[in-house]
Structure 1
């Protein structure tokens, strides 16, 4: 019991992320005006152009105003296929992080999960974390890993 409690405490102290990312539909702040420029560096396509990952920056006057957008297919329906925009925010309490290094993004395909994308993200305290998520084109779901 004591070992389990110590292991749980260590996991909570060291294994749990300081920031918990969240996935949500793109909000009204996702407009062409908020896409970080230069677009060539802050936007990448994957899966033969079907998936586009990009950073938005909502306020250039604050150090923490970035979020990640993913344009991706949703399952085909009448008149489709269609795309949707899914956002990844820093978390529920504070939605924005410092910067997403989209030009450094890497991707691999996993048949059970879809396209797995990894992007370094920085925070205003100077820390950097790797953001990993999967885009499943068959279901239209973006999930954090």
Structure 2
């Protein structure tokens, strides 16, 4: 019970909806065990296959278990792509993701621009709020930014 109260408190505090969402290097959140199946419905490629976006489900905390995995250029000296996760805040994901709503556009000044419908907990963590997450990727530099709309 104490854990549930702590998680609800943490979620409520993080749900003040700061403009910037968390983009972190891959860690425990991006474990292969977190990839959502069926893979064919929860992963897509862009930029001639150089960029892969996939859904991650860490199961806990249940109110914030869904994250977005992004594998993309730039490539390192041995040919590996960068690996990043897009989350609500560090270690806390979204309450839900509508992967079918994932849309990608390209702006030469910004790079790839992704949008996807997500759900976040309400400020008191008693319900869910429909939102859109927008994240950008500059493949040349690897820079990424994200925000809730």
TM-score tier, shorter chain, comes to: 0.7 to 0.9
Aligned length: 126
Q: Per the alignment, do residues 60 and 116 of structure 1 end up closer, same or farther by CA in structure 2, a change over 3 Å counting?
A: same
- Note the alpha carbon deviations across 1:30-68, whole angstroms, 9 max, x for none: 122111112122111111111111111111782431111
Please give the residue correspondences for 1:28-107 in structure 2 after superposition, counting only pairs within 5 Å.
28-59=28-59, 62-74=62-74, 76=75, 78-80=77-79, 82-92=80-90, 95-107=92-104
Structure 1, unmatched stretches of 5+, are 1-16
- Note the alpha carbon deviations across 1:44-94, whole angstroms, 9 max, x for none: 1111111111111111782431111101111x55443x30111111124x6
Look up the match of 1:134. Answer: 136
Structure 2, unmatched stretches of 5+, are 1-14, 122-126
CA distance in 1, matches of 2:142, 2:40: 25
Is the CA contact 1:66–1:99 (under 8 Å) kept in the aligned structure 2? yes
Identify which range, 59-68 or 119-128, moves more after superposition: 59-68
Name the structure with the higher strand share. 2
Task: Detail structure 1 runs of 4+ shifted over 4 Å in the superposition.
Answer: 76-79
Please give the TM-score of this superposition, normalised by the length of structure 2: 0.74
Question: Quick check: 1:108 aligned with 2:105?
Answer: yes
| Higher RCO (C-alpha under 8 Å, 6+ residues apart) | 2
CA distance in 1, matches of 2:64, 2:142: 29
Is the CA contact 2:87–2:94 (under 8 Å) kept in the aligned structure 1? yes
Instruction: State the Cα RMSD in Å.
Output: 2.1
Is the CA contact 2:61–2:92 (under 8 Å) kept in the aligned structure 1? no
Look up the match of 1:23. Answer: 23
